[in-house]
Amino acid sequence: MLRLLLATNNPGKVREYRSLFQDLPYDVVTLAEQEITTEVDEVGSNLEENARLKATALAAESHLLTLADDSGLEVDALGGEPGPLSHRYAGEGASDEDRVSYLLSRLKEVPWAERTARFRCVIALARPGGDIEFCHGECPGIITFEPCGEQGFGYDPIFYLPELGKTMAELSLEEKNRVSHRGIAAREAYQVLVRLKNSLAE
């Protein structure tokens, strides 16, 4: 079976991709399973550049078809911050809780109607030879005043989905994958992976 390397150490992302790709005719493996400890510096200025940097470096190292995603939260009242800096927003070594608290503190004076935001995800699929394809997903929502819910990871407890009347952290894995930025991008990636498999079989 063809192998697909998930180039992330984020257990939340691994859980989501494993579920999204469960029917795919690929053996999905992680960096930890491949004993790859390389940390690729995310020095790009946008999500696409960072996804490309991670996917190409790890495909070259592993000699495997590699999926890397770069994702982030854009808050309108903060001019699009934290964006590509979402993971480092409260400094190196900060926890998800620290990042959530820091973001809420930056929005203390902002009323509900102005707390609009979106999650964005860019997936880069890189072949060891150098070919690369991108898939995109976006999910709009509103930043709550307080965290709510225990599921998911990152900023999920403060990301409210008006149509569902819940935060992202109140959704099951399957519900989140149906609407999330990563779910949308991953369904596009799924089609690319099926096409790739079929072209190799020809």
The smaller minimum CB distance to ligand IMP, of residues 52 and 182, is found at 182
| Contacts to ligand IMP by CB under 6 A | 10, 42, 69-73, 86-87, 99, 119, 152-156, 168, 180, 182
The smaller minimum CB distance to ligand IMP, of residues 65 and 152, is found at 152
SS3 category, 36: coil
User: Where in 44-193 does DSSP place strands (E)?
Assistant: 65-75, 116-126, 132-143, 159-161, 166-167
Residue type, 13: K
> Helix, strand, coil: what percent of the chain each, to 5?
40, 25, 35
Compute the least distance from the CB of residue 98 to ligand IMP, in Å: 10
Compute the least distance from the CB of residue 50 to ligand IMP, in Å: 7
Residues 6+ apart with CB under 8 A from 68: 7, 8, 51, 52, 54, 55, 58, 123, 124, 126
Compute the least distance from the CB of residue 57 to ligand IMP, in Å: 14
The smaller minimum CB distance to ligand IMP, of residues 173 and 194, is found at 173
Compute the least distance from the CB of residue 20 to ligand IMP, in Å: 12
Residue type, 197: K
The smaller minimum CB distance to ligand IMP, of residues 17 and 119, is found at 119
- Active site residue: 70, 76, 96, 156, which one? 70
The residue whose Cβ lies closest to ligand IMP is: 154
Helix intervals (H) in 63-180: 96-106, 173-179
Residue 98: active-site member: no
- Residues noted as catalytic: 70
